[in-house]
């Protein structure tokens, strides 16, 4: 009688290949932000991504920092890219670049465009009839050149799945962490964000910049209040509590949240609680009742209701998918 042979362990999944398309006079901040998210995070965090650079004309490229960068990959690096990142202010929309990016998108690669990088997917028609986050300084030019794109110069990023846009370079980190969250779950995204010491993750609806008041003092940044709220997530906190902490009226605080974050304070806090809930479902076997208490949602019934409204699934189904 033949002996049972042990099962062959499955091959490890190939990393998701992120390729940043750079150009002469490249702004480095969005590129280094993306490499920080998609690069190596040490032996304690699984390596789900690989990251490399490519250019239409490889070699030594000048940057806005005043020092060159050495780029070895040409446009053929986009042939097997899973995500194509286009970031910067000086991108040349040459036929070769448009062809390479268009072919990558046609076979299923995700295109992520930051700042003036938006003009490449716009020229390819990928954004026709779709809303796109555009830097407020470029909104008029984009509308004139590509009238079928719906420009939004207020929000920090817009994600359609196959193509995502971020108006400003500073939103690159937020958009990349958003991609990680969508592909590998909240817990993994939080681990990467914590290692980078990133601030509270900004949703795409957050404004690129808050409008300046015409009268009265400039409102203080909400960052200290947001950190305080995250530090006491299990506790029940009202808008009145937040306002007292900030030294303003509840009405003023609600206006500041809406202007600077795009959502009222209660909505922002609920989104953070749901993100923490997702991480605990992914990383622990804690019962839903315990998770509800830890993230400040009071009961399993309330957690399930909020979870289903936001994600159209149940905590149990979510846990089965992401554990």
Q: Are 222 and 256 in contact (CB under 8 A)?
A: yes
Residues contacting residue 250 through CB under 8 Å, at least 6 positions apart: 239, 240, 242, 243
Same domain, 39 and 141: yes
Q: How many helices (H) and strands (E) does the chain have?
A: 12, 10
Tokens representing residue 116 in the block: 């003036």
Tokens of 113: 């465009």
Alpha carbon distance 186, 287 (integer Å):
18
Q: Are residues 118 and 267 in the same domain?
A: no
* 260-318: pLDDT as tens digits: 777 889 988 998 898 889 888 888 899 999 999 999 998 999 999 998 888 888 899 88
pLDDT in tens, 99-114: 999 999 999 999 999 9
Q: Is there a single domain that holds both residue 26 and residue 174?
A: yes
Is there a domain that residue 187 lies in? no
Q: What is the pLDDT of residue 124?
A: 95
**Total tally of structural domains belonging to the chain:** 2
Predicted pLDDT at 184:
86
State the CATH number of the domain containing residue 123.
3.40.50.880
Residue 262, domain member (yes or no): yes
Same domain, 230 and 166: no
- Residue 168, domain extent: 16-182
CA distances from 129 to 146, 147, 148 (A): 10, 9, 6
């Amino acid at each position: 009688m033949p002996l049972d042979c042990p099962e062959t362990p499955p091959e490890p999944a190939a990393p998701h290949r992120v390729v940043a398309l750079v150009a002469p006079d490249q702004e480095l901040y969005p590129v280094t932000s993306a490499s920080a998210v998609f690069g190596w995070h040490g032996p304690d965090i699984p390596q789900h991504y690989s990251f490399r650079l490519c250019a239409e004309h490889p070699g030594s490229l000048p940057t806005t920092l005043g020092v060159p960068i050495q780029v070895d990959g040409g446009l053929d690096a986009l042939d097997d890219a899973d995500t194509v990142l286009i970031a910067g202010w000086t991108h040349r929309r040459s036929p070769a670049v448009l062809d390479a990016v268009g072919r990558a998108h046609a076979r299923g690669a995700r295109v992520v465009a930051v700042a003036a990088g938006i003009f490449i997917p716009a020229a390819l028609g990928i954004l026709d009839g779709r809303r796109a986050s555009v830097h407020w300084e470029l909104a008029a030019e984009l509308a004139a050149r590509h009238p079928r794109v719906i420009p939004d110069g207020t929000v920090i990023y817009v994600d359609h799945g196959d193509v995502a846009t971020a108006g400003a370079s500073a939103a690159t980190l937020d958009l990349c962490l958003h991609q990680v969250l969508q592909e590998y779950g909240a817990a993994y995204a939080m681990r990467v964000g914590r290692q980078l010491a990133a601030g509270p993750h900004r949703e795409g609806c957050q404004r690129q910049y808050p409008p300046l008041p015409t009268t009265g003092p400039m409102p203080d940044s909400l960052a200290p209040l947001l950190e305080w709220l995250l530090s006491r997530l299990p506790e029940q906190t009202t808008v009145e509590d937040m306002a007292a902490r900030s030294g303003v009226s509840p009405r003023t605080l609600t206006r500041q949240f809406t202007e600077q974050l795009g959502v009222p304070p209660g909505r922002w806090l609920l989104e953070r609680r749901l993100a923490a809930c997702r991480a605990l479902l992914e990383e622990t076997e804690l019962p839903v009742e315990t998770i509800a208490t830890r993230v400040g949602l009071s009961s399993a019934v309330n957690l399930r209701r909020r979870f289903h409204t936001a994600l159209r699934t149940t905590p149990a189904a979510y846990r089965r998918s992401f554990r």
